[in-house]
Amino acid sequence: MKTHNYSRKRQAICELLMSTREHPSAEWLYNELKPEYPDLSLGTVYRNLKFLESSGVIRSVAVVDGIERYDGITEDHAHFVCNCCGRILDIPIPHDFDSIHSGLFESDKRLAGVGKIEFTKIIYYGNCDECIGKQSISESRE
């Protein structure tokens, strides 16, 4: 019974992650699922996230303001992290993605004298349009 309950929660965490583009934190998931699973603990969410990540079902995107953020989409794509509001946006990988690495690759995704690449994370950091908009409004009021 307990095992069944445990896997149901894992399933719920997994489904919620895949249904959102928010790139949530453990705490965000916990707050969303708590009404439906009153006995859910933050520790359970953390444990399940680690399990799902090590199983390759989800990915850890980045640590923003000391908080790890997760992605239910595991196909390769880049991210934009807003330094202002902490939003993480999906960026379709540019068409010349391979050319970024072509100088580094030996062959078959091998880095000469280093090893074989399994995946690449590309994260752009900056200010999102929404935050830039807010900044220019407050500046014009001064």
DSSP state of 21: S
Would you say how long the chain is, in residues?
142
Is residue 47 a contact partner of residue 26, using CB atoms and an 8 Å limit?
Answer: no
Give the one residue of 46, 68, 90, 109 binding Zn ion; rule: CB under 5 A: 90
Q: Does 71 interact with Zn ion (rule: CB under 5 A)? A: yes
Interacting span for Zn ion (CB under 5 A) from 4-12, 24-32, 49-57, 64-72: 64-72
Q: Does 64 interact with Zn ion (rule: CB under 5 A)? A: no
Interacting span for Zn ion (CB under 5 A) from 1-9, 77-85, 91-99, 107-115: 77-85
Q: Which is nearer to Zn ion, 84 or 122 (CB)?
A: 84
Query: Would you give the distance in Å from CA 64 to the centre of its chain?
Result: 10
Is 63 buried (19+), middle (13-18) or exposed (0-12) by CB count in 10 A? exposed
Is residue 78 a contact partner of residue 122, using CB atoms and an 8 Å limit?
Answer: yes
Is residue 31 a contact partner of residue 75, using CB atoms and an 8 Å limit?
Answer: no
Q: Does 18 interact with Zn ion (rule: CB under 5 A)? A: no
Give the one residue of 63, 67, 85, 91 binding Zn ion; rule: CB under 5 A: 85
User: Cα dihedral sign for 116, 121, 122, 126?
Assistant: negative
Q: Which is nearer to Zn ion, 34 or 87 (CB)?
A: 87
Q: Does 128 interact with Zn ion (rule: CB under 5 A)? A: yes
Count of positions on this chain that bind Zn ion (CB under 5 A): 8
Q: Does 82 interact with Zn ion (rule: CB under 5 A)? A: yes
Query: Would you give the distance in Å from CA 18 to the centre of its chain?
Result: 11
Q: How far is the CB of 82 from Zn ion (least distance, A)?
A: 3
Binding site for Zn ion (CB under 5 A): 71, 82, 84-85, 87, 90, 128, 131
